């Protein structure tokens, strides 16, 4: 565990969320990485009390914001976790996709009453993707779940008064 995320990953700081509802929106594209992100995300959610997990698969990262909005409208989960992996290629396509998914998720966080967690890897190569899906840079699927749990807990505290 590195110093920059030590407090974030401290097991004592991760709440148990009884009867929690979470939606995971993830991509088909780069499934060899994204599937591991989803597994880690689900594992942490279940370990911390979330029993209602809806999943929606979208083709690629560009479609994630649409999927998040659709899953919210249908299920009203307490949190939505967006998981994907965009790997830089030889054209500017990477930049356009990354910008669109980032802006889309940001916009949803303004208009939806449930947080949308950004768990989309934006990497230069496959090695960097593996490093962030359980390698030396942690597990970004697990970290996305932790972020969702913390925000769900905070929201519940606010709703209590």
Whether 1 shows a pLDDT value over 60: the answer reads no
pLDDT at 2: 56
Query: Stretch 8-13: mean pLDDT, rounded?
Result: 90
Q: Average the pLDDT over 68-84 and give the result.
A: 98
Q: Is the pLDDT of residue 41 over 60?
A: yes
For residue 120, the number of C-alpha atoms closer than 13 Å in the C-beta half-sphere is 32
Is 100 part of any known ligand binding site?
no
Q: What pLDDT does 3 receive? A: 57
Q: Is 116 annotated in some ligand binding site?
A: no
| 116 has a pLDDT exceeding 50 | yes
61 known member of a binding site: yes
Is 88 known to sit in a ligand binding site? no
Domain boundaries, the chain: 18-160
Q: What is the third-level CATH fold of 18-160?
A: Rossmann fold (3.40.50)
Does 93 participate in catalysis according to the annotation?
A: yes
- Averaged pLDDT score across all residues of the chain: 95
Q: Considering only residues 5 and 123, tell me which one the structure prediction assigns the higher pLDDT.
A: 123
- Yes or no: say if 90 and 36 are a contact pair by the CB < 8 Å rule: no
Identify the active-site residue in 4, 26, 93, 139.
Answer: 93
Higher-confidence position of 4 and 50: 50
Tell me, what's the pLDDT at 145? Answer: 98
């Amino acid at each position: 565990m590195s110093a920059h995320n030590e407090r974030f990953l401290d097991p004592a700081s991760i709440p148990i969320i009884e009867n929690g509802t979470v939606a995971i929106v993830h991509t088909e594209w780069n499934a060899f990485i994204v599937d591991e992100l989803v597994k880690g995300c689900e594992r942490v959610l279940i370990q911390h009390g979330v029993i209602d997990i809806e999943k929606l698969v979208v083709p690629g990262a560009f479609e994630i914001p649409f999927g998040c909005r659709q899953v919210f409208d249908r299920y009203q989960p307490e949190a939505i976790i967006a998981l994907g992996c965009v790997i830089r290629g030889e054209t500017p396509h990477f930049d356009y996709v990354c910008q669109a998914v980032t802006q889309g998720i940001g916009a949803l966080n303004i208009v939806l009453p449930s947080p949308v967690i950004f768990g989309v890897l934006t990497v230069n190569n496959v090695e960097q993707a593996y490093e962030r899906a359980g390698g030396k840079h942690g597990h970004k699927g697990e970290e996305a779940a932790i972020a969702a749990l913390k925000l769900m807990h905070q929201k519940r505290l606010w709703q209590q008064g």
